Structure 1
Amino acid sequence: MGEKCPAEPDLCDVEGVDLSQESLGTLESDQGVVGSQDSYTSILPEDGAKLKKKKKDGKKTKKKKSSKSKSKDGDSKDSDGKEHKTKKSSSSRRPEPEGGNTTSNVNMDEYDKVIYNNDPLFSDLELSDKEGDSELQVPSRQRRQTRLMGVGSSGIFIPCTQFGLNSNTMIKFAIISTELQNVLQVSLKRCESEIAGLNRRIQLLEEDLERSEERLSTAQTKLDEASKAADESERAKKALENRGAHDYDRICCLEDMAREYTQTVNDAEQKYAEAARKLAITEVDLERAEARLEAAEAKIVELEEELKVVGNNMKSLEISEQEASQREDSYEETIRDLTHRLKEAENRTECAERECNLLHKGKAVLEGDLEKEQLKTKKLQEEMQQTYMEIHELMQ
């Protein structure tokens, strides 16, 4: 139990190994630790404790088997060999990186296949029974002293025999740290390429946004012009509606006046009928008075005077009737003119609405044509660039 390792006297006599500053730097870059260097020592005791537990379990199984049957030494050796194999297979298996997902074998480089392979990287991670026995004989005071030791000038002083580690395991840890550093560099390169692609995509999106903003500004100007034209047409429509209302009021007034004139004409006709009746009566009286000419000359003179007055009245009535008929004609003409104007105003409003609809449709068509022309210009620019490149190559 108290024998030392003949192959590695320096590492077994000394209870710790000094790590160089380069190995510590690789460990810091892989694990992302910026704080104190005691965090590296917290990584190692876990592996050492696991190895100690495995060795203790192996020794317990050995004692049980030896107490049961001493005659079966060959069987116990075979079982010990199997345990050693299981220890090798379990201890020499390479640990997976922290936070790493199980990678698929599709589209993997040779470097990725080496990194993400589950085959054992080192087959000599197991310690011998002598080393384990020498670990158990280390006094507790020396262990406390090694725990309380600080950082040296060259690196961290880590106890090896306490955790079941030798120089090979430390070399393996250094190799694993370099591999982790390489993995981080590869992942950083991939992230940088992804960031560059995203930046390019952002630039393209910004260019598309500027173009869409320019299109939106042009469409907004066209829409403002169309809205102004629509406002003007609405104003004209309102003015025409106001004029139509005013004309309607005027037509109503003229209709009232026409009714009054018709009433006056009816009255005149009634008077004329009465005058005609009187005339007939006077004629009858004249016929009767012809027989009485001689006796009633005075009455005849009076009747003649009355006839003259009636004739004058008849003339005046005829003149007034003619004037009334002329006024009627003029009123009818004015009514016709007003109705014609109203119809023209309605036709104008309908034409204005149709023009507005046509303008909206023309706007949509022009926007589509504009997009097509922009695509054509892009294609022409690309063709011009290609022709320039071909000419340049031919010149060279």
Structure 2
Amino acid sequence: MDAIKKKMQAMKIEKDNAIDRADAAEEKCRQTQERLERVEEELRDTQKKMMAIENELDKAQEDLSSANNLLEEKEKKVQEAEAEVASLNRRMVLLEEELDKLEERCKVATEKMEEATVNCDESERERKAMMQRATVDDDRCAELETRLREAQSILHEAEARADESFCCLLLFNLWLFAYFSACTQRKVMENRSLQDEERANAIEEQLKEAQSLAEEADRKYDEVARKLAMVEADLERAEERAEAGENKIVELEEELRVVGNNLKSLELSEEKAMQREEAYEEQVRSMEVRLKEVKIVELEEELRVVGNNLKSLEVSEEKALQREDSYEEQIRNLTGRLKEAETRAEFAERSVQKLQKEVDRLEDELLVEKEHELVHEKERYKAISEELDSTFQELSGY
């Protein structure tokens, strides 16, 4: 009887030790769970950082593509501006050539106009000289007519005088000579005046033509000057646009360089994050292995304790044959609990295998399993304690 009491006390002590071990295992499980939570929190932070880095990378790539598109557009605009500048330069060269031609034509027209003016002045002087000569000739004609009238009067007087026939003949010849010379000079003067009028008309026509050419040259010169001013203004605007395009290209190249540097830094950050993620995954795998090992050791320890309890109960059964029925019932209960423990062990092994396949649900399953096992262990130890207490009371009653 004392041996049974000692055995019961030993079993109670062993029960307390098992409860302490269960509490220690629960504390270890809680610490492991906290470590897992910290690791998962770090993994979530790393995933958030990775997502932020990926977003920044996508944004940088979008900025790079938009910068490339802007650069291509600016290059196209610069090429268009250069083509426009080249066309304006060609137009300017053509206008300068046309201006040179017009200046040459204007110079020729001016020379012609000066020559026509000189000719006109000479013709005017000749006309005045001819008019003076005509006046002189008219005076001479009047004088000759006067002399002719005098000669006629003399002729009449000579006719009256018969003895002066020779003088009459002489005077008649003189009158004929004066008359013919006057007619000849009149015709010559008329021909000269007609020629002078024709030359004056021709010179006036040349002068009008030269004036029209000069006016046309002045008009074309003004038009060319206006076009040249417009072309110069267009050229200045095109040069300003080209300069603005070059400045924009420099700014875009600088922005592209900054984006490239940011992209390189993001790639380096991504590589470091990948390395940290691999290190975290390695830590998680090592912790999973350690958890599996700890769980297997705990299950083996529990089975060993149950086996020791079973052996002690079998020894108690051999020593207490008078209580065989009750002890057999206890043994059957303990055997059922052992089978339940084995079933839990198999379930735990299957859970371990399942945890190997389902790493993402490691925390939830481990927590549920540990809580389930701890609850069952507490209930089992509580039931064993109650049975031991009842048995101790029954033994004390006997």
- TM-score in terms of structure 2 length: 0.41
Larger radius of gyration: 2
The structure with higher relative contact order (CA 8 Å, sep 6+) is 2
